[in-house]
């Protein structure tokens, strides 16, 4: 039976791991490769590196990171942040990344998803969706781009469905309302997206206690759960999270 995945996310800026609280107030949490090796040993199911400072001229740093990661890690990993073109993604995959995630550029030009899927296969293309609840409209979420700074007016559930049809292999869904809040995943949002697409959905944003991981799977109907700070600061190990999920009857790789 396919195990539900536990994925630590490493937000990287200037070659160091940082984690924004509600996307502001960055704190340094160490060397990305060292941390990823620790998670590999703890049986993380994969790792996401998000280069939050990535711009085309800083691309070389991210490529170096991908290359170091493929030399040290024995698990799949995804790199995201600032891809504008298939060529940007190709250089990252050539450097050793198993998957690339796209966000703003795919919203600006959805054909980027289908072109990337044609070039690398759907399994390598993750579409990251940052969603925020629309005030006064229950069960409506809006897509934000540019690292959560810019509203688009696009419905998050409809966008995820469109991305899946275009050839995305997975949706990495972050609730901006919950990110950094420690209140748990936005399970209503996650479930709405999970039911609208036939590809795996990774829930992200809001973990504060062990039970939240199981909630993301059972109530949010996610295929994988992602968190950052709670891992980086040693609050929980990956194994503790998986033990907790297993106690709820969720299949995990221990």
CA–CA gap between residue 91 and residue 26 (Å, rounded): 28
Of 5, 19, 59, 191, which one interacts with other proteins (CB under 8 A)? 5
Selected binder of other proteins within 15, 23, 43, 235 (CB under 8 A): 43
Of residues 178-217, which lie at the interface with other proteins (CB under 8 A)? 198-200
Residue 70 touches other proteins, criterion: CB under 8 A: yes
- Which of 170, 177, 183 lies closest to 224, judged by CA? 170
- d(Cα 73, Cα 207) in Å, to the nearest integer? 25
11 is catalytic: yes
Q: Are 142 and 155 in contact (CB under 8 A)?
A: yes
CB 9 within 8 A of CB 227: yes
The answer to whether 40 contacts other proteins (rule: CB under 8 A) is yes
Q: Which two tokens stand for residue 172?
A: 């990495």
- Which of residues 3, 26, 134, 250 is near other proteins by CB under 8 A? 3
Candidates 143, 223, 226, 236; binder of other proteins (CB under 8 A) is 223
- For position 71 contacting other proteins by CB under 8 A, the verdict is yes
Is 51 among the catalytic positions? no
Instruction: Please report whether residue 25 would count as binding other proteins according to CB under 8 A.
Output: no
Q: Does 141 bind other proteins (CB under 8 A)?
A: no
Contact 3, 251 (CB under 8 A): yes
Q: Which of 12, 29, 35, 45 binds other proteins (CB under 8 A)?
A: 45
Q: What is the CA radius of gyration of the chain?
A: 16
C-alpha 21: how far from chain center:
16
Interface residues toward other proteins, by CB under 8 A: 1-5, 40, 43, 45, 67, 70-71, 74-76, 93-98, 120-124, 169-170, 198-200, 223-224, 253
């Amino acid at each position: 039976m396919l195990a539900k995945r536990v994925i630590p996310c490493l937000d990287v800026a200037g070659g160091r791991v940082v984690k924004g609280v509600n996307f502001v107030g960055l704190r340094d949490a160490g060397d990305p490769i060292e941390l990823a090796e620790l998670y590999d040993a703890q049986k993380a199911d994969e790792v996401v590196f998000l280069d939050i400072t990535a711009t085309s001229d800083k691309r070389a740093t991210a490529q170096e990171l991908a290359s170091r990661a493929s030399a040290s890690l024995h698990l799949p990993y995804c790199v995201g942040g600032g891809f504008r073109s298939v060529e940007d993604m190709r250089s990252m995959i050539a450097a050793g990344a198993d998957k690339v995630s796209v966000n703003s550029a795919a919203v600006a030009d959805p054909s980027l998803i289908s072109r990337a899927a044609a070039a690398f296969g759907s399994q390598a293309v993750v579409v990251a969706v940052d969603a925020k609840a629309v005030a006064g409209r229950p069960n409506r979420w809006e897509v934000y781009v540019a690292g959560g700074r810019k509203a688009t007016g696009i419905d998050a559930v409809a966008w995820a469905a469109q991305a899946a049809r275009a050839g995305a292999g997975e949706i990495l869904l972050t609730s901006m309302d919950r990110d950094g809040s420690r209140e748990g995943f936005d399970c209503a949002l996650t479930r709405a997206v999970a039911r609208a697409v036939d590809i795996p959905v990774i829930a992200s944003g809001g973990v504060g206690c062990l039970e939240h991981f199981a909630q993301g799977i059972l109530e949010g109907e996610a295929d994988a759960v992602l968190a950052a700070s709670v891992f980086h600061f040693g609050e929980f190990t990956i194994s503790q999270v998986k033990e907790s999920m297993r106690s709820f009857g969720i299949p995990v790789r221990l």
